[in-house]
Structure 1
């Protein structure tokens, strides 16, 4: 569930990387951040992939081999536990006694939601009390599966590998924070959130091809255009809450990593590296040496 935004289909892949000057010629999504002799690697990930997208770009393995510890957005093992999955299912539903989505969007839009929902073979009654996040995540994951996006994302791939290799893993934020973000998606702007999300389902095949090709080829301007510009313009409050504020919460933790000797490999959705608010620019502004990891 990590990394969803109002531009949900594009954000579920989260493959935007930084557009600061140093990145202009760097065909990579992995960065080496240095403070004296201390090093942290930062990798921009895609949370979902196709089998054909493997093997991953070799700079990911280079960073992994140099790393003593892997750090993800959250504790992935806990995130996938039965207890947390149950809490997430509760988080994407309105409590009893609270108006449902049918009272929060226009009648024509709700009719469209029901139509799309049932086209995916889902019973209309299953919509009852679902928040926008529950509806859109369900439809997005079914849509991704239909177009062949059914492989492990980069985060899960390296979490599994680190576990097998005995490398320690950690998270930048708690599962509780993730659940709060999930329940709040689209809150207060349900009409726009649902309309945009449904529109993007219709464009899914082309979008996934564009995003993966741009990410793999390091075409940073294309990636920035595909996601970040729209997010800032169409949902500035969500952009701040889901991207900017989280980056600001993560930066002190990366500062601390750059004060110790173990080498960490931080893997986050690539949107978190993008633009002036992104981690790459912010780390440069802090005076660290930031350089792309070559193939």
Structure 2
């Protein structure tokens, strides 16, 4: 839960935060990703969804990356080159609207006279004060901010202190690439809708997420490294366990708003890209969480009858294109294979046996 937004929301607004709650390494807004010969490119979370006459590439993003996560794999470069249009969660012109920072902070603040110290139980106030004190701050300085924002700021501070940057995130990188190539871009939702989603989680679930951070703050860097490694290696089982399943189990209402409802809204838009255009391909870039599980975009589009192929030259033959579903309880074990009852397909489109 504490790392959800690394997958589900494009933290590009993070670079606009005027409040830094933990020490962070500053990264210039115009910084470009530098090639790193020491590492192989990350294994892409990339799928090709197609009908009879055109295709949509679906790419799972990680919104905070390091310079040595570049260059990208040839698979992504080829999908980008083949696409006439690149679609993001939010259109670049909306993401970089100069009013976003102000609108973001408006939602982060209590509007009804509430305060953070009133919301948090005594033990959590004490833990938060201890974390803030290490950076010369106190609870009184953030008392007007809601728990979700404080949690987000803490995670961002730690991530930036170990070298991650939203400016180097896959979304921003591809936005720059699209601008340089003169490709058309658009968004699946508005910036205001995304800000509303961030601000709408139930208070008890917001506090639960903040508690996860504050209970073991020294473990957060290692957890960030682990989940980043899983993304780099396209370890679908690990990502599904640490991102989707954990959030769905611990904060089900937040999961519904951040993941399920947004997937519901995006599927018809992706279908429209396939059904309306008679030629031309599109690259769609979304947080990796949105591709996982039986309620993810991949399975939802597979269920609509489109051809679904994993695009991964680095993957071994027979690699499944999604993490295996969780086995049902014995009394409910009436189906085998994927979440829809179908066999899980491999990258070649053949069922895994």
TM-score range, shorter chain: 0.7 to 0.9
**Alpha-carbon distance between aligned partners in 2 of 1:14 and 1:51, rounded to the nearest angstrom:** 19
1:179-198 correspondence runs (5 A): 179-198=195-214
- Look up the match of 1:101: 116
Is the 1:104–1:190 Cα contact (8 Å) retained in structure 2?
A: no
Work out the CA distance in 1 between the residues paired with 2:110 and 2:176: 34
SS in structure 1 of the partner of residue 168 of structure 2: coil
Question: What SS is found at the alignment partner of 2:4?
Answer: helix
Q: 1:77 and 1:126, CA in 2 relative to 1: closer, same or farther beyond 3 A?
A: farther
Aligned-pair distance for 1:116? Answer: 1.2
1:123-138 to 2 correspondence within 5 Å?
123-138=138-153
Report the 3-state secondary structure (helix = DSSP H, G, I; strand = E; otherwise coil) of the residue aligned with 1:68. strand
Stretch deviating more after TM superposition (251-260 or 127-136): 127-136
1:270 aligns with 2:263: no
In the alignment, what sits opposite 1:292? 310
Shift of 1:61: 1.0
Q: Which moved more, 1:73-82 or 1:193-202?
A: 193-202
1:71 paired to 2:80 = no
Match of 2:102 among 69, 80, 86: 86
Query: CA separation in 2, counterparts of 1:30 and 1:175?
Result: 24
Match of 1:3 in 2: none
Q: 1:118 aligns with which of 133, 140, 143?
A: 133
In the alignment, structure 1 segments of 5+ residues that lack a partner are: 1-6, 16-26
Correspondence 1:11 to 2:27: no
Long gaps (5+) in structure 2:
9-42, 314-353
Stretch moving more, 112-121 or 157-166: 112-121
Bigger shift: residues 268-277 or 204-213 = 204-213
> In the alignment, what sits opposite 2:335?
none
Cα distance change on mapping 1:121 and 1:107 into 2, 3 Å? same
Deviation, structure 1 residue 257: 0.2
Deviates more, 1:196-205 or 1:105-114: 196-205
Is the CA contact 2:83–2:283 (under 8 Å) kept in the aligned structure 1? yes
Q: Which residue of 2 aligns with 1:47?
A: 63
Partner residue in 1 for 2:72 = 56
The higher radius of gyration belongs to 2
Superposition deviation, residue 12 in structure 1: 3.3
| 1:143 match: secondary structure | helix
The structure with more helix, counted as a fraction of residues: 1
Corresponding residue for residue 301 of structure 2:
283
TM-score when scaled to structure 2?
A: 0.74
Instruction: Count residues in correspondence.
Output: 276
CA deviations 1:256-277 (Å, max 9, x no partner) are: 0001123110000000000000
Query: What displacement does 1:85 show?
Result: 1.1
Equivalent in the alignment of 2:328: none
Q: Does 1:147 align with 2:162?
A: yes
CA contact (8 A) 1:132 1:185 kept: no
The question of whether the paired residues in 1 share the 8 Å contact of 2:178 and 2:184 is answered with: yes
Task: Tell me the TM-score normalized by structure 1.
Answer: 0.88
What is the root-mean-square deviation of aligned Cα atoms in Å? 1.8
Distance 1:157 1:11 in 2: 21
Q: Which moved more, 1:68-77 or 1:184-193?
A: 184-193
Deviation at 1:200, TM superposition (A): 6.1
Looking at both structures, which has the greater relative contact order when contacts are Cα pairs under 8 Å and sequence separation is at least 6?
A: 1
Secondary structure class of the residue paired with 1:56:
coil
